[in-house]
Every structure is written in structure tokens, then in C-alpha cells.
Chain A
């Protein structure tokens, strides 16, 4: 197997008595979509937050693109090509969709101690931002305040902001969260188009999306990775069925 883009080993995170991440070993290879599934409260978001650098693990090591990033800050990891999206939409609600994405572009366009020129007329930021918005299908909504976008559009903006940082690995925390069936399918189709360009760690509750997109699936229960394997292997895994999937499981790979 090729050298993984992300390799997590022995990761532990405790919140008081709760072990939210329990000695997890995990990797994502280049070009792969590795899905993480598990019941509510299994520790999926906590896991992603440690990889992206918002939370400090209590133990373990995170190696990204050959570099140990365990001690790096969130911004430093972003600069190295780790991008995350948030389960609960986290955008700049008072800024336009375009300005949201432009800010993400700006974060990766050198330092921001530029005190004089207007940022909103800076073609070096606005042009690439437009391109990313067009990519996710929000071009027509560029000037709408992001707080006024429909929920589905805000979810698209979430992804756009991650893409705008030109990442090597996307950490997507339930991109279809709160979406209706139709929007959800559209998002899944869009993520499929990204597959050739980015490696992804995909957290999803929508099993159709997971089985449509994932190359590998890891099942997290009470902070522990109880199984990792291809969608077929996971589907056939008794422990997984017992712990989590149950009736949710689609009979066929969608």
C-alpha cells in the first residue's frame, strides 16, 4: 500500500469520565475516501477535531503527509493542507458567500498584515473565490449574506470554504447533516466528483452516501474503532451489525 496521507496511531481523548477517543489507529491513503460511521455520541466529531487541531489529544500521534503534526496548532495544520468542514454549519453569517470563501483564500495567500488596500476589490482573492463558489454550484448566490442562505446552500458553502484552502485532505463532518433526501443526493453526487481530486475522511450518517462513496469504512462505537474494511466487509461484519447498523443497512451498494 502507498504511504498514507494521514496516519493516526494510539489516539486517546477523555472528557472527564467519558473516553471519546479510545486508542484509535486510523489512516487515509492518497486518493481514498475513508468513511467513519458510528452511532450518535460515538466520538466522530471529537476524532476529526483532534486531527484538524481544534482539540488536543491526551495521547497518540497524528502524521500528515509524512510530518508529525500532533503538536501543531489548527492554523498550522490548515497551512499544511488539512481542511475540515463542520457538522454544525460554521460560516461568517454576516458576510456574503463570496466574502466567506475569499477569506479562506486569503488565509492561504501569504500573511495578512496588509493594512491599506481593500480586500473586497482584491482580484487575487475574489477571482479564485468565485471559481470555488462556481465549483460547488453557488455562483448565483455569491452576494447573498451567508446567514440568509438556505440550509442546503450553507452546507455547500461549508465545503467551498474547505476547498478554498487547497487542501490535500478533506475532513468532512456530516456534509449532509440536516438535509432532505433530495439535497442529500445532490451533495453525495458532488462529493463523488471531488473523489479524483482529494483524499477524504468522511463522517456520515446517511448510509446511502457512505456506501456510494467510501473505499473503506471504519466503525466507531464508544470511541473505539471496532472494525475497518471495505463496504462489503463492513456490511457483513456481525459485530458492526450488532453495535450499530441494524436495519439501516441498505441491501445493495447504492
Chain B
């Protein structure tokens, strides 16, 4: 494989993420672990959204729902004394996938603005469900233990927690890389590019889009479970529409329909937030215009700005 600028960028990204714990420890700045964990978790959420948004053209404005489902799966099971990660993560994945199937089954019957609004509405329902569940802290949220994996993985060890998150990120990148290039991925991309044609050549597109919607939900659920683990705290805010918007901004910023764009987008978004917050509390005032300029001038986001070898062309 030739070392194109993009491959170099990928390598740098992954190496940086891999060496954060020793570097942060050496610098005496354990806070960086937390920051980069957040980056990786939102990267997973953004990667999962990009599967349906960037590759499938499904503009889900309710993707934060699955962050909440993953978060509450950890918190509620822990609340009842089931602290095992072997329960938390499978429940998160299956639960998020099922809820995504339900939401998708209804919302995918619509398109355009209606789709956006319906996905938003479902997430708002889940948000208010979270607010109304006094037993689990309601509005105030609920503290939770971290997931336990017997003696195998100790998430109370900072480095372990970090590399556990990193492992999930790598897995999600691998899955989405394989997925988008598989037969299944071709159907999803084809349905975005020209759904009429897809149906005319014989694809029942709905079921494939629904499956992609569920896979994306499950992946984002994992991000939620990880977020609960690093913060040891879950609130309905996980599912706030503002969150859904942020994840979408990360995808757009990094580059829709690209594999590493969402990771880049999540990193730049959270790092900019970190830096700009030092300048002003209303950091969006600075971020907003930057974002608009980028989206206007770089169709494929930051990732699209990194040169690739030219596509073969007539």
C-alpha cells in the first residue's frame, strides 16, 4: 500500500491515541486521559451516525437516544446490583438495536424533513421518559459503578479504562470499514445515491436501510455505555437533542461518508471546545462561523481536505 497523505493521517491519529496514557502520566496531566476518552467515545457515536447519515443518507436527528440507552443499561443494572460488564454491554447492544429497529421501522417509512422530525420526536420521548423516572434519579441523573469484568479487565484502573475505550473504537472502525465495502454497504450507499434505481434493479431497500439503522443504533449504544463508565454518572442529558446535534456536527465537520472523518470531527470538535472555552464561555460564537465556513467550502469536511490520490477518471 502506498503511503498516501490519508494513510499517514490515519496512522498519526491512531498512534497519538495509543500513546496518550504514558504521555499524560509523564506530564502529570491525568486529565488528558479523560479528554481523549471522551473524544474516542464521541468518535464511536459519530462513526455510527455516519454509517446511516453519510453512507445511507438517513438524516437521523435523534442519534443521542442510543447514548442514553447504553448509559441507562449500565446504570440501571448496576443499581440493581448487576455490575457485570458481560451483562451491561450485551444488553446495551441488543437493547439499542431493538429500539433502533422500532424507531427505524416507523421513521424509515418517511423521508426528508419528516424523517428528521420523527427521529427527533422519538428521542425527545426517551429523554422525557428519563426525566420522569424518579427511581433512577429523574432530572438529576444517577450515579453508577463501572462495569466489572471479574479480574480480567479492571475499569477502575485509569489506563485499563482508557485502552478498553480505545479497543472499542478500533473495533467500531473495523466494523464500519468492512460494512461499507461489503455487499450490504453497497446496498446502503446505492439507496442513498439513487433509491428509485435500486428498487428498479430489484433491491427491497427498506429492510437494508432498517438493518443499517439498527447496527448504527447498537454501535452508538456502546458509546453510551462507555460514557457511563468514564463519568460514573448517567442523566437524561445524554439524550438531549442538543447532543444529537453535536454528534451530527462532528460528522459534518470530519466528513460525511468517510471512515475516519467522524473520528477527526469528534477530536477537533472536543479539542476546540476545550481551547475556546478558555477564551469565552460562549465558545460556539467562535466555533459556529468556523464550522459554517468549513461546511460551505469543504464538501467532505476536514477529511476531504487531506489529499488522496486522484480517482481514475475518464
A binding-site residues for B, Cβ under 8 Å: 52-54, 73-76, 78-79, 83-84, 86, 90-96, 99, 103-104, 106-108, 112-120, 122, 125, 141, 143-145, 148-149, 161-162, 164-165
Asked if B309 is an interface residue, CB under 8 A from chain A, the answer is: no
Q: Report how far A143 CA is from B312 CA in the complex, Å.
A: 7
Q: Which residues of A contact B178 (CB under 8 A)?
A: 115-116, 118
Q: Report how far A84 CA is from B185 CA in the complex, Å.
A: 24
Q: Are B181 and A114 in contact (CB under 8 A)?
A: no
Q: Which residues of B contact A141 (CB under 8 A)?
A: 314
Q: Which residues of A contact B194 (CB under 8 A)?
A: 90-93
Q: Are A148 and B314 in contact (CB under 8 A)?
A: yes
Q: Which residues of B contact A125 (CB under 8 A)?
A: 183
Q: Are B200 and A115 in contact (CB under 8 A)?
A: no
Q: Which residues of B contact A53 (CB under 8 A)?
A: 199
Closest B residue to A89 by CB, please name it: B197
Among the 9-residue stretches B11-19, B24-32, B201-209, the one with 4 or more Cβ atoms under 8 Å from chain A is: B201-209
Q: Are B184 and A114 in contact (CB under 8 A)?
A: yes
Q: Are B183 and A122 in contact (CB under 8 A)?
A: yes
Q: Report how far A94 CA is from B299 CA in the complex, Å.
A: 14
Q: Report how far A162 CA is from B311 CA in the complex, Å.
A: 26
Most chain B C-beta atoms within 10 Å of own C-beta, residue among A93, A116, A117:
A116
Q: Are B208 and A112 in contact (CB under 8 A)?
A: yes
Q: Are A144 and B312 in contact (CB under 8 A)?
A: yes
Q: Report how far A96 CA is from B202 CA in the complex, Å.
A: 19
Can you offer 10 A-B residue contacts whose CB atoms are under 8 A?
A: A52-B200, A54-B196, A76-B204, A90-B194, A90-B200, A91-B194, A106-B186, A112-B187, A116-B179, A165-B202
Asked if B87 is an interface residue, CB under 8 A from chain A, the answer is: no
Closest A residue to B182 by CB, please name it: A115
Asked if B132 is an interface residue, CB under 8 A from chain A, the answer is: no
Q: Report how far A76 CA is from B201 CA in the complex, Å.
A: 10
Q: Which residues of B contact A99 (CB under 8 A)?
A: 186
Q: Report how far A141 CA is from B24 CA in the complex, Å.
A: 53
Asked if B280 is an interface residue, CB under 8 A from chain A, the answer is: no
Q: Which residues of B contact A76 (CB under 8 A)?
A: 204
The 8 Å CB contact of B182, one of A75, A91, A117, is: A117
Q: Are B203 and A112 in contact (CB under 8 A)?
A: yes
Q: Report how far A107 CA is from B184 CA in the complex, Å.
A: 11
The 8 Å CB contact of B201, one of A93, A95, A103, is: A103
Closest B residue to A74 by CB, please name it: B199
Q: Report how far A14 CA is from B182 CA in the complex, Å.
A: 41
Asked if B160 is an interface residue, CB under 8 A from chain A, the answer is: no
Q: Are B193 and A107 in contact (CB under 8 A)?
A: no
Docked complex: B161-192 residues within 8 A CB-CB of A = 178-179, 181-187, 190
The 8 Å CB contact of A75, one of B179, B190, B193, B202, is: B202
Closest A residue to B193 by CB, please name it: A92
Q: Which residues of B contact A92 (CB under 8 A)?
A: 190, 193-194, 197
Please give 12 more A-B residue pairs, beta carbons under 8 A apart, in addition to A94-B193, A164-B201: A54-B199, A75-B202, A75-B204, A78-B200, A79-B202, A90-B197, A103-B190, A104-B202, A115-B182, A115-B184, A116-B178, A161-B201
Q: Known: A144-B312, A149-B314. Contact between A113 and B197, CB under 8 A?
A: no
Q: Known: A75-B203, A92-B197. Contact between A119 and B313, CB under 8 A?
A: no
Closest A residue to B203 by CB, please name it: A107
